[in-house]
A and B are shown apart, each in its own frame.
Chain A
Amino acid sequence: MKVLVVDDERDVQVLFEQRFRKEIRNGDIQFVFAFSGEEALGYLKDHGQEAVLILSDINMPGISGLELLRQIKQKFSAPPPVVMMITAYGDEDNYRTAMNLGADDFLTKPLDFAILKDKLKQI
């Protein structure tokens, strides 16, 4: 399973690679990283729907996570990837906007990796 992680914090890559080191080693999950909404869209354009799950931060400079979500749901529909949104604020506004835009799930920072692992197993 390929997962695209979108976050403007670069160390998120090391963090995911360490948190999921067993899953990565066993070849259960493969991670790709994009450090902005623009990069994520570029990846999706080049690689189509390789990534079955997109995990995106909301608060990013440039294209925000919500705008990225809107574009993904518009442009990449067959088959639609699962999009989970992550935000530090976890407020109602962002939650509702994300849900209205078609987010499949909603996670709040700090990420609980045990919960995330459970959710990934169900996909």
Chain B
Amino acid sequence: MNANLTSLLNKFQQLNELAPAHQEEILLLLKKLQKDIEILEFKLDRTEKVKQTTAVLLEETIEELQQKSKAVEEVNQALRNSLNDLKNTQNQLIQSEKMAALGELTAGIAHEIQNPLNFVNNFSEINQELVTELIEEVDRQNWEEVRLLVKDLFENEEKIMHHGKRAENIVKSMLQHSRKSNGVAEIFDLNQLVDEYFRLAYHGMRAKDKSFQVKMTTKLDDGLTTVIAVRQDIGRVVLNLITNAFHAIAERIRLNEEGYDPHVLVTTKDQGDQVMVEVTDNGSGMSEQTKDKIFQPFYTTKPAGQGTGLGLSISHDIIKAHGGKFEVQSAVGQGTTFSFIIPKNQNKS
């Protein structure tokens, strides 16, 4: 029996005035109390045990969770690494696509620079002769002739400047094309850009395939003066569309159809706040299935090793980044029209 209860019982037993019946009753109550205490002690003991077990379990669970979270962290790190690798690879691919496009153009670029340089050299030589004549005529005081010579000199000087600028623009475009885009919108003449790349693409194509012949037409909107956009990026899109058009034409030429008259038309249109550029060819055209996939990265209709399959995918991203959109219409054996629309001013949103 519990020590306190035993001493309580002893105290009661020493009280002689208590009737035996009461003593009996108290003893009974004490015994009941004893029982209750035992039960409570047992329960307490059990609770204590449960508590200990729970604590152990909890500890184990925490440890397990810690291990799991460490594993998750490791997986995350691995994913981050893969993502970085992918981004690097993507950048390298974009760069190699740029270089591939540039390589295709190299011969064309050489030709396009040679022409204006020839003009610069020729007109400079002519002006030298004219100056010699001018001195003679001044000595003779033949003012009428002097006036004519000066007029010619002035006009030739303008030609020299024009063609010098032309060569400069070509070199600039080429450098811009190979450089990483800085993504900065600048003001430029979209019609001039379209015209420049149309010629470059043509000469690039001719340099590779001398039998390549195509009628080239431009319908450039005179009302369209300048746009504010990332010039280099828009140049890449235009170049990509024109090169694709030429390839589609070359493919159809290979079919040797009777009376086939290859034609590429490039149109620009001022649409108020927006501008539209459209490239139409009457080349081989695309099936619906092909059309659905052309903007997917790495999709190409060219033989292995001839196309990166990134041209249109990159073009699509560029137009999207400009807040514009692409449209494609095509019919097998008839030709394709690609067009894109972008806001005229990228700095105004």
Contacts and interface: CB of A to CB of B under 8 A. Distances in A.
A19 B111 contact: no
Nearest to B202: A61
Interface stretch (A9-17, A26-34, A46-54, A71-79): A9-17
Interface stretch (B211-219, B247-255, B280-288, B328-336): B211-219
Contact of A110 (B114, B123, B202): B114
A94 B118 contact: no
B98 interface: no
A67 B262 CA distance: 14
B77 to A, nearest CB: 56
A89 B107 CA distance: 9
Given A15-B123, A59-B111, A61-B214, A111 B159 contact: no
Say which size band chain A's interface belongs to: 20 to 34
Contact of B115 (A9, A89, A93, A97): A9
B210 A19 contact: no
B206 interface: yes
Contacts of A15: 119, 122-123, 126
A102 B196 CA distance: 34
A109 B126 contact: no
A89 B121 CA distance: 18
A19 B122 contact: yes
B156 A18 contact: yes
Interface string B135-155: 000000000000000001001
A103 interface: no
A88 B213 contact: no
B231 interface: no
B344 interface: no
Interface in A40-69: 59, 61-64, 67
Given A11-B163, A14-B159, A94 B210 contact: yes
Instruction: Point out which of B118, B152, B202, B207 has the most chain A C-beta atoms below 10 A from its C-beta.
Output: B118
A117 to B, nearest CB: 13
Contacts of A109: 114-115, 118
Nearest to A66: B210
A63 B207 CA distance: 16
Nearest to B213: A64
A61 B242 CA distance: 14
B236 interface: no
A18 B119 contact: no
B203 interface: yes
Contact of A59 (B121, B206, B214, B215): B206
Given A14-B159, A18-B126, A18-B152, A110 B118 contact: yes
24 contacts: A9-B115, A9-B119, A11-B119, A11-B159, A14-B156, A15-B123, A18-B152, A19-B126, A59-B203, A61-B202, A61-B215, A61-B216, A62-B216, A63-B213, A64-B213, A88-B111, A88-B114, A89-B111, A89-B207, A94-B210, A109-B114, A109-B115, A110-B121, A111-B118
Interface of A: 9, 11, 14-15, 18-19, 59, 61-64, 67, 88-89, 93-94, 97, 109-111, 113
